[in-house]
Amino acid sequence: MKEKTDKRYAMVVDTRLCVACKACVLACKAENRVPYGFNRDWLVEVTTGRFPDLALENRSERCNHCSNPPCVHACPTGASHVNEGGAVLVTHHKCTGCKACIAACPYGARYVHPDGYVDKCTFCLHRVRDGREPACVEICPTGTLHFGDLSDPDSDVSILLRTRKYKVLHPETGCEPNVYFLE
Amino acid sequence: MNESLIEVVQGRNNPMIDPSLHIWGWEIPVYLFLGGVVAGMLVLSAALALRDRDGPRSKALQTAPLLALGLLSVGMAALFLDLEHKAYVWRFYLAFKAASPMSWGSWILLLVYPAGIMMGFGMLDSDRRAALLDSRFVRGLHLRSLVMCILGRADAARRGALWAGIIAGSALGLYTGILLGTMVSMPLWNTAVLGPLFLTSGVSTGAAVLLLLPLSTGERHVVARWDMAAIFVEIVLIVVMLIGFATGGHASHVAFSQLVDGPSASAFWALVVVAGLAAPFTLEAIEVRRSLKPLALTPILVLIGGLSLRWILVIAGQASSWANIP
Ligand code: SF4
Ligand code: SF4
């Protein structure tokens, strides 16, 4: 069910600290019992330039919990919906597996669970509601990942976005992502 | 920029997304194709019936709407096969989501059946009606009184039923294109041209199926002329689509390159543009001008073109995904 709150959950990823150890990926798989062969979060390592002048960017990516989520718009049953703090979730027992949402997501953030429904990152709302951080954030050994509420100006994520340069992925699509990458 | 290299290591490995997208396989293009054919058959047979309301009709034209519903059921079976969570298919009908073309589509499909049955029954002459009432299906299931009742209703609202067929058919044809056209994730799909393009292609493929049936000479003549008009509009829409892609931003260029030098580009030009549009248009023009005996090849080419259009756009569209752009 959609819960009305004024919170705006977001994640901030400090690409300068990430060493691409993939602990976030494994923590998520363990926490959310993500089946073998599937991922709710993943690492993208982008190398640009020409040797020896190279630049490397490591990005821990996941669903962007977009403020204008095309996956939710595309869903015919209401299974894909906006939940607490703007987190985009899938209600498994409403999902027909039509895959309109997978096709609609510009970020490849969704997959079909072997049980037939579509699954994705939940921002670990089950942990967040207990006052804990998402599993990926908690395990990150370098402090790359930050989770918090953008509507609170004193939150970690708000301060980082005020004080550092950042980008979001494919802003041209107009989805208004809420996973920010510090540069 | 051409001096520098870019290397992307993608740690994600979700089937259907990586390494290349194939979210929707053969089922969806087949469904989109049949949806278009059915849309075209309903619109054209209703238009023919409206044009000449009391004139004699060939047996083939009388049964065309009911044949269309049969084809639609095949398409819906393909759609069902594509569902990953089949036991929850009924969830489509517990919600109407105005922002979701898929939701519009599932309700439109439900409206096409009564519209097609009403207009189809209304178009039957007394011989066909007697045959229908006498058929093993109707007698075996004791449906005689129900069929009589529907026939009565269909007669009472014959004109309305024909218009309902045109509206339901157009909605079906249009939505199959809008379904893909609203996806910002796939630059090749994300064009408003796709709705009208799929509708006109549907009219043309629907005409092709009608031309393969034993229509009367007069009906055949009209359908062939309408088909030529539809093919002409389709060519114009494809040109508009290509101009839009060629002159747009980065995403449009990704879409454009899928159609001019992507893996499906040669199939697009050979099967859709040349074999599916230019060739049948030329053949039909010659047949009409010289009053030649119509070739079965012409409608078959149109059908190949219509299926290829959906197939290639579904495949190449997924390849154009933002998820593949670093
Ligand atoms: S990243 Fe994809 S799945 Fe997540 S909210 Fe945005 S569109 Fe939906
Ligand atoms: S696959 Fe499920 S969540 Fe996705 S659009 Fe279809 S019904 Fe909605």
Cα gap B254→B246, rounded to integer Å: 9
Instruction: Please give the structure tokens belonging to residue B227.
Output: 């088909």
Closest Cα in chain B to A171: B322
Between the CA of B75 and the centroid of ligand 1 the distance, in Å, is 29
User: Ligand 2 within 6 A of A145 CB?
Assistant: no
Q: What is the number of other CB atoms lying within 10 angstroms of the CB of residue B212?
A: 16
- Answer yes or no: do B182 and A22 touch at CB < 8 A: no
Q: Read off the pLDDT band of A164 (50, 70, 90).
A: very high
Cα gap B180→A130, rounded to integer Å: 40
Q: What is the number of other CB atoms lying within 10 angstroms of the CB of residue B131?
A: 12
- Would you say how long chain B is, in residues? 326
What domains, with CATH codes, occur in chain A? 9-182 (3.30.70.20)
For chain B, strand residue ranges (E) read 5-10
Instruction: Please give the structure tokens belonging to residue A12.
Output: 């901030």
For residues B306 and B37, the answer to whether their CB atoms sit within 8 Å is yes
Whole-model pTM? 0.93
* B17 CA: distance to closest CA in chain A (Å): 6
As beta bridge partners, residue A55 has A48
Cα gap B96→B202, rounded to integer Å: 25
pLDDT of residue B14: 82
pLDDT of residue B308: 97
Q: What is the number of other CB atoms lying within 10 angstroms of the CB of residue B263?
A: 12
What domains, with CATH codes, occur in chain B? 27-324 (1.20.1630.10)
For chain A, strand residue ranges (E) read 9-14, 41-50, 53-62, 80-82, 88-90, 111-112, 118-119, 145-149, 166-167, 179-182
Place of tokens 């490849």: A108
Between the CA of B156 and the centroid of ligand 2 the distance, in Å, is 41
- Per-10-residue mean pLDDT of chain B, 326 residues long, equals 68 77 90 98 96 83 96 97 94 95 96 96 92 89 91 92 96 96 94 96 98 93 94 97 94 93 94 97 90 88 97 94 82
Between the CA of A123 and the centroid of ligand 2 the distance, in Å, is 19
CA neighbor of A120 nearest in space, from A175, A42, A172, A43: A42
Classified as helix, coil or strand, B10 is strand
* Helix orientation angle between B144-156 and B101-123, rounded to the nearest 10 degrees: 90
pLDDT of residue A1: 47
For residues B241 and B193, the answer to whether their CB atoms sit within 8 Å is yes
* B78 CA: distance to closest CA in chain A (Å): 12
Candidate from A46, A99, A116 with C-beta closest to B24: A99
Place of tokens 């030009």: B269
Amino acid making up residue B274: V
Cα gap B313→B176, rounded to integer Å: 12
Closest Cα in chain B to A34: B14
Q: Where are the alpha helices (DSSP H) in chain A?
A: 23-31, 70-74, 100-104, 125-128, 135-139, 156-163
Amino acid making up residue A64: N
Q: Which protein residue has the closest C-alpha to ligand 1 atom 6?
A: A66
Cα gap A177→A161, rounded to integer Å: 14
- pLDDT tens digits, one per residue of A85-105: 999 999 999 999 999 999 999
